[in-house]
Structure 1
């Protein structure tokens, strides 16, 4: 039985900032990591939660998912009614927009929830509750992807969660714009951004990543991609990196959540 849907949407209105192609790195990762589950599903529904003042991210998510799962459907959900009304003209087969919030006004559990740049305005102590609410709405083999990126999509960090809770953290960047890996610290999701201080695992990870990046400087003559790959390969000796060179070449690295989770107290 699905959780009872509240009479009013749960959550608060976001700034709504959005730009075309902003979430391309997150979308490509989702298609690679979750495409098989979407293809297997009888009704592969994905939610673009809090898509903002314009519907571009939902439109693009549908196109990218259908490259790997042709039957995928996307439901854009926004807590601001005027944004839903503005998005309605963009509806088409496989794409619709609904008024709602964290309660998710759906008749069946979705296979994917993408919540990008939604939780940054919340307090850190609210994040776990939101995660738990959204994870409880997932299909048994569903995935929640929650994270943050800059305005034009050059730098992203996101957490992937299953119904049981957080699994991994992914760092993704346009390598040509990167000075050091710790540049990504400003895009840490709300659960981690205030933990980038000495004594916290995410701070130690970014410190080690910067050191590996510096040690890989000779590879820069072959390009930023080769330098990144070498730096990530060095990281694997000390951190539980869970992906491989095929993803590293995209300017990504994914780490087990447990290794970066905030310390208690």
Structure 2
């Protein structure tokens, strides 16, 4: 006769996802961290117990610790949890825990005690197909606090090129392009950093292709400003783009203060392939 299951017994859930390459490095995600602080710092300060998850932090604790340090400057009460699907990586990170910063085993199921205010997932979805990427966006959004944010993106190995999407529980809201001014020849060079939901859509007839083509054109038109430096050329190109694309013009998402950093944010609806 089968023994009745004890309802008090803890059920162990296997991490959801696949182990990534785990490559990382100091300041690789500085650009996105800076954006999170500027755009969502107020959200973290307003939350009663702000919880931030760094999903898939890789073989080193470095970028999670950097995120924790930067967020604590603007939201002293924030708690950051680094989650990795590889037990060996969690073991390596454990010695760096401190008050407000911890590391644990897990995946897309987000094994945390309460819905996070913000989830950062960088360089995690590159190995998945487009349909899987949309699915895991939905999975992660469903785990957020009601006013929470998912920041999902990809960066180059040295962090000089990056693109990320900002999502609410209701769906994607923004897409941000960010690069050092000497890290590209044309803005469309950033295309290899597109989210998995867009990277295969960079073909004629798709919105993202039209945007990058227009960005290249605006960059070419703004070449004379390069005599005053690449920053001035970027600023001029963004202004050209704003005449035909819904570029936010004021903080926190837009305006010269953001553009001077080599950033450009658009509403997701401008490039949504669906």
Q: TM-score range by the shorter chain?
A: over 0.9
CA distance in 1, matches of 2:237, 2:197: 25
| TM-score, scaled relative to structure 1 | 0.96
Structure 1 residues 157-166 or 170-179, which shifts more? 170-179
Q: CA RMSD in A?
A: 1.0
The 4+ residue runs of structure 1 with deviation greater than 6 A are none
| TM-score, scaled relative to structure 2 | 0.93
The aligned residue for residue 268 of structure 2 is: 257
SS in 2 for 1:207: helix
SS in 1 for 2:185: coil
SS in 2 for 1:32: helix
CA distance in 2, matches of 1:8, 1:261: 33
What are the superposed Cα offsets for residues 146-181 of structure 1, whole Å, 9 maximum, x if unpaired? 010100100000100001010010000011222110
Aligned positions of 1:241-252 closer than 5 A: 241-242=247-248, 243-252=254-263
Aligned positions of 1:1-265 closer than 5 A: 7-242=13-248, 243-263=254-274
Equivalent pair of 1:6/1:103 in contact (CA under 8 Å): no
What are the superposed Cα offsets for residues 90-120 of structure 1, whole Å, 9 maximum, x if unpaired? 1011110010000000111011100000000
SS in 1 for 2:182: helix
CA distance in 1, matches of 2:146, 2:40: 13
What are the superposed Cα offsets for residues 208-237 of structure 1, whole Å, 9 maximum, x if unpaired? 000000000111111111110110011111
> Structure 1: which 5+ runs fail to align?
none
Structure ID, larger Rg: 2
CA distance in 2, matches of 1:175, 1:78: 32
What are the superposed Cα offsets for residues 193-213 of structure 1, whole Å, 9 maximum, x if unpaired? 111111110000000000000
Post-superposition shift, 1:65? 0.7
> Structure 2: which 5+ runs fail to align?
1-10, 249-253
Number of aligned residue pairs: give it.
Answer: 259
CA distance in 2, matches of 1:20, 1:6: 34
